[in-house]
Structure 1
Amino acid sequence: MAFKMSVQDYKGKINEVEIGKGDKAFKVGGEEALSFYSFDGAAGQTPKVGVEILDIYPEEWIPALQELYKDVANNPAEWAKFVEKELNPDFICLRLIGADPNGLDKSVEECAEVAKAVAEAITLPLVVAGTGNHDKDAKLFEKVAAAVEGKNVLVLAATEENYKGVGAAAGLAYGHKVGAESSVDINLAKQLNVLLGQLGVKTEDVVMHIGCSAVGYGFEYLISTVDRIRLAALSQNDKTLQMPIITPVSFETWNVKEAVADVEDAPDWGCKEERGITMEISTATSIITVGADAVIVRHPKSLETVKKFVAALA
């Protein structure tokens, strides 16, 4: 008797969300089965890989990255153009850490002008991330959403504390996509999606950021949470969890001890730069295989490796 492979029949489908404008705009999501399980159903859109840049000089980044961007790092628009031309990511993530009240505390108007300059300097889709300070981000994203009107950016992210302000500005007033940020918990992710829906933000305008951690740092809990979200979305047809997932890998992996310890302090660990790259690649590839539809990385070698990984699996 010939072998007949069993097929898992899923009831649900992940929404497709379009980010960007023009020829380089792309969609994320669309899966009708678990990631890369094309034998069970449609695999959806290929996962996308973006590169992080900052609105200020990257003082805390490793010397190798500072050297790479030394001619452009003081000008975010030029930095973005350099990344688009030289590195060829799927998108660019502008992180507005200059607005952090615990840092430079730049005005939201100044940061909005930076976001506008970056959006106009590139043809790639743009993701704009905030400071992590919920109150400041609510004010920041209101100005940023207006400044980049018509660019269809992904604003990362709305939280339970500020979703009304962020969702109303980005998702309703100016027609952008909204990142829904929760803390590695399926119930919190679902609740925030429901709240955004009640606010009036369309489900096809929401991308989930359910949290991130570097491999070895509670990463198995992140993996299990993504698993539960995807199984609920597909097997149970839970429409409140059928949003694509974006994971800002670089925000976490370059802060752990394996990536920041100097060679003098940990001689057995080897090259500091290579350690950081390894942490970033390991985290990004792992979360993609579980369900992330887009990831954000920092190092060009990470970008190259993860893109090759995705192409080989797709």
Structure 2
Amino acid sequence: MPYKKAEQKFSGKINTCEIGAGDAAITIGGENSLPFLGSEGFKTAVGIAITDSPEDWAECFGTIYGDDLNNPAAFAKAAIEKSGADFLLLKLASADPNGANNAVENCVATAVAVEAAVNVPLVIEGCKNAEKDAKLLEEVAKALEGKNVVLFSAVEDNYKTIGAAGGMAYGQKVSAESAVDINLAKQLNILLTQLGVKSKDIVMDVGSAAVGYGFEYVASTMDRIRLAGLGQNDESLQMPIVTDISNDAWGVKEAVFTEAEAPEWGNLEARGIGMEVSTAAACVVGGSNAIIVRHPESVKTIQGLVSGIIG
């Protein structure tokens, strides 16, 4: 008996969101079914992360990038060349008031230099301090007006500033960050749209965790969000999902313990890539529209996975 694919029909559809400008622009979202099950061809974009504070990154990245690791613009260019990533995430971690406390103007200059160095869309992350990020991402949005970057990410304590400056005043995209909870994700999306940010200019950062470290909560949250957006046609949950797993995957013991500390675990770099690929693959099949990883080989592997599934 010939195989006949059964396709479930949904009343809702995920918004499309364009990031980047000109020939470099890409579009994420737009599917009307669960991942890889519909006729429209779900596809996940794969980005690579860099930082302006790589001091705590694994030694293998020093080997990969050499002196470029300490020059964000050169780092960005090398990361794209070595990985072939669809987009780039710049982490402005040096802005952290509890760390280097780098001035906003210095971080903005870094973002401008990185944007000029690459020809892919940019996602710009702050330092995870809500007060500092509000000021920083507002200035980044202003400096990169017309570049259609994603401001990663707005939280409940700063969404008004980031939403007004990013999604409205300077025409950037806004990522809404919630902590692995469908209700929190929905609430922040509603707050942003009530503020005046258009739904098509919002993406969701619903949280992540490395596989084996509570990832089942991430998986169930993604499932519930997608089923609500598609099956219940809940417009407040129809934004594309962007998931940065680079910190989680490279922060667990399997990717941190040196070969001297755990010789039986084998090569440290291979372990980090393995954690990253496993986590990213799980997010892909869970419905994330864009995945962000750290290692160039992880980018290539996940791009191959997506291409292989969609044929």
> TM-score category by the smaller chain?
over 0.9
Classify 1:276/1:4 alpha carbon distance in 2 versus 1 (closer, same or farther; 3 Å): closer
Q: Give the CA deviation at 1:222.
A: 0.4
Classify 1:36/1:6 alpha carbon distance in 2 versus 1 (closer, same or farther; 3 Å): closer
1:126 pairs, out of 122, 125, 128, with 122
Q: Secondary structure at the match of 2:307?
A: helix
2:295 pairs, out of 279, 296, 299, with 299
1:233 aligned partner, one-letter code: G
**Aligned residue in 2 for 1:62:** 58
2:200 aligned partner, one-letter code: E
**Aligned residue in 1 for 2:40:** 42
Give 1:1-314 correspondences, 5 Å limit.
5-38=5-38, 41-44=39-42, 46-56=43-53, 58-314=54-310
Q: Secondary structure at the match of 1:50?
A: strand
Q: Give the CA deviation at 1:71.
A: 2.4
Q: Secondary structure at the match of 1:70?
A: helix
Contact map agreement 2:7 2:37 (CA 8 A) in 1: no
Classify 1:79/1:6 alpha carbon distance in 2 versus 1 (closer, same or farther; 3 Å): closer
Percent identity reads 52
Q: Give the CA deviation at 1:121.
A: 1.7
The one-character-per-residue Cα deviations of 1:29-51 (angstroms, maximum 9, x if unpaired) are 0110000002xx4234x211111
Distance (whole Å) between structure 2 residues aligned to residue 185 and residue 194 of structure 1 = 14
Contact map agreement 1:186 1:228 (CA 8 A) in 2: yes
Distance (whole Å) between structure 1 residues aligned to residue 5 and residue 140 of structure 2 = 50
Distance (whole Å) between structure 1 residues aligned to residue 2 and residue 89 of structure 2 = 50
Q: Give the CA deviation at 1:267.
A: 2.0
Q: Secondary structure at the match of 1:37?
A: coil
Q: Secondary structure at the match of 1:233?
A: helix
Q: Give the CA deviation at 1:3.
A: 7.0
Q: Give the CA deviation at 1:301.
A: 1.2
Q: Give the CA deviation at 1:290.
A: 1.0
Contact map agreement 1:245 1:291 (CA 8 A) in 2: yes
2:212 aligned partner, one-letter code: G
Contact map agreement 2:84 2:300 (CA 8 A) in 1: no
1:306 aligned partner, one-letter code: I
TM-score in terms of structure 1 length: 0.96
How many residue pairs get aligned? The number is 310
Distance (whole Å) between structure 1 residues aligned to residue 58 and residue 117 of structure 2 = 26
Q: Secondary structure at the match of 2:107?
A: helix
The one-character-per-residue Cα deviations of 1:248-279 (angstroms, maximum 9, x if unpaired) are 01021111111101122222211111111100
Q: Give the CA deviation at 1:194.
A: 0.1
Q: Secondary structure at the match of 1:69?
A: helix
Q: Give the CA deviation at 1:24.
A: 2.1
Q: Secondary structure at the match of 2:174?
A: strand
Decide which moves more: 61-70 or 242-251: 61-70
Contact map agreement 1:32 1:43 (CA 8 A) in 2: no
Q: Give the CA deviation at 1:132.
A: 0.9
Q: Give the CA deviation at 1:6.
A: 3.9
1:9 aligned partner, one-letter code: K
1:22 aligned partner, one-letter code: G
2:271 aligned partner, one-letter code: R
Q: Give the CA deviation at 1:59.
A: 1.4
Classify 1:309/1:5 alpha carbon distance in 2 versus 1 (closer, same or farther; 3 Å): closer
Distance (whole Å) between structure 2 residues aligned to residue 192 and residue 37 of structure 1 = 28
Structure 1 residues without counterparts, runs of 5 or longer: none
Decide which moves more: 102-111 or 262-271: 262-271
Distance (whole Å) between structure 2 residues aligned to residue 106 and residue 78 of structure 1 = 20
2:68 aligned partner, one-letter code: V
1:199 aligned partner, one-letter code: L
Distance (whole Å) between structure 1 residues aligned to residue 128 and residue 171 of structure 2 = 22
Contact map agreement 1:30 1:43 (CA 8 A) in 2: no
1:117 aligned partner, one-letter code: A
